[in-house]
Amino acid sequence: MIVSQRSWSSRAVPYIMLAPFLVLFFGFFIYPLLYAFRLSLFTGRTGRGTFVGFANYITAFKDGSFWSSILTVARFGVMQLLIMLILALALALLLDSPIIKARATFRLLYFLPYAVPGVIAALMWGFLYSPQLNPLLAVLGIFRHGKPPDILSQSNLLFSIVNIVTWEWTGYNMTLYFAGLTSLPLELYDAAKMDGCNEFQTAIRIKLPLIRPVIIFTWILSIIGTFQLFNEPFILSSLTAVPSDFTPNVYIYNMAFAYNNFHYSATLSFFLAFVTLCASLLFLYLTSGEQQRAGRRNRSYDARGVAK
């Protein structure tokens, strides 16, 4: 009897340890998710609404404003991800090279922007974009017949947000790449030096292929973050005119709190999650397909006896 009680208590220990997490997970993730899905099946601006099934999802699929916001973040992602991740990769390779001496200081300087909360960063850059608060813009106005550049205009707004997000997240991705580089065995570098490779050749032919999983991981995280863009345009809306459908999350927010249509906003949230999942899986499929083709090429080279 004592043995059975001990065995039962030993089996219960993992569940007891997991209980706090499970309570918080179900209370703050699963339940809100189910509640939002229930809201998406109804229509009406007040009260409990009328059950319409999946009619809201059909409406969301035909919503031109929603797809316009998707195209906006797609344009944003093409520009911002390429700039940010290439810059982060270049800084990580530079940090991993013998060129940089004070590595701790170098890493801290580029990681500090990530420590700044997104709302504070958007406010700070919003003030820097103002000609009344940034003397540099006033100086540039001398070359434009006394008219400072309007960085927050409708034509420049997307590029302004690209700059803010790149400033915020480049150091974070640089840290991930540098962690991947430091985990590589040093014997590979010694062998590359014996074969006559310089630092650039070592980075291109050895370092980059070996940290490919880390690069793909950061791309997927960045794609998800791109579709969730909200803080920067929402904060800048207090300084300039931002369209209500500028990004999907801004459109969802306005639909819920400006138009009091919580049912349709819940529908758009689930639809956005589906679009984000499809974009991430598509990128993962394309990158994994390329890796499989490279593996088949390597196997064919081996079969013919060609040295790699």
Residue 7 pLDDT grade (very low, low, confident, very high; cuts 50, 70, 90): low
CA distance 32 to 281: 25
Question: In percent, how much of the chain has pLDDT > 70?
Answer: 89
Rounded alpha-carbon distances, angstroms, from residue 253 to 154, 230, 258, 259: 20, 9, 8, 9
Matching residue, tokens 């590359």: 192
Q: In sequence order, which residues have a C-beta less than 8 Å from that of residue 90 and are 6 or more positions away? A: none
Does 300 have pLDDT greater than 60?
no
Provide the residue type at 34 as one letter.
L
Which runs of consecutive H residues, i.e. helices, occur in 41-156? 55-61, 64-96, 103-115, 118-128, 135-140
Chain-centre distance of CA 254, in angstroms?
A: 22
Does 122 have pLDDT greater than 60?
yes
Does 101 have pLDDT greater than 90?
no
For residues 49-72, b (16+ Cβ closer than 10 Å) or e, as one string? eeebeeebbebbeebeebeebbeb
Cβ atoms 141, 147 nearer than 8 A: yes
Cβ atoms 83, 166 nearer than 8 A: yes
Tell me the β-bridge partners of 43.
Answer: 50
Does 176 have pLDDT greater than 90?
yes
Please give the torsion angle defined by the CA atoms of residues 49, 50, 51 and 52, in that order, rounded to the nearest 10 degrees: -110
Query: Do you know the residue count of the chain?
Result: 308
pLDDT tens-digit map of 259-280: 989 999 999 999 999 999 999 9
Higher pLDDT, 171 or 133: 171
Q: Report pLDDT for 47.
A: 58
pLDDT tens-digit map of 58-89: 999 999 999 999 999 999 999 999 999 999 99
CA distance 139 to 216: 42
pLDDT tens-digit map of 208-258: 999 999 999 999 999 999 999 999 999 999 888 999 999 999 999 999 999
Q: What is the mean pLDDT of residues 178-203?
A: 87
CA distance 59 to 133: 44
Provide the residue type at 78 as one letter.
V
For residue 103, give both structure tokens.
Answer: 């590595």
Least confident segment among 108-112, 134-138, 172-176, 184-188 = 134-138
CA distance 163 to 264: 32
For residue 267, give both structure tokens.
Answer: 């529908």
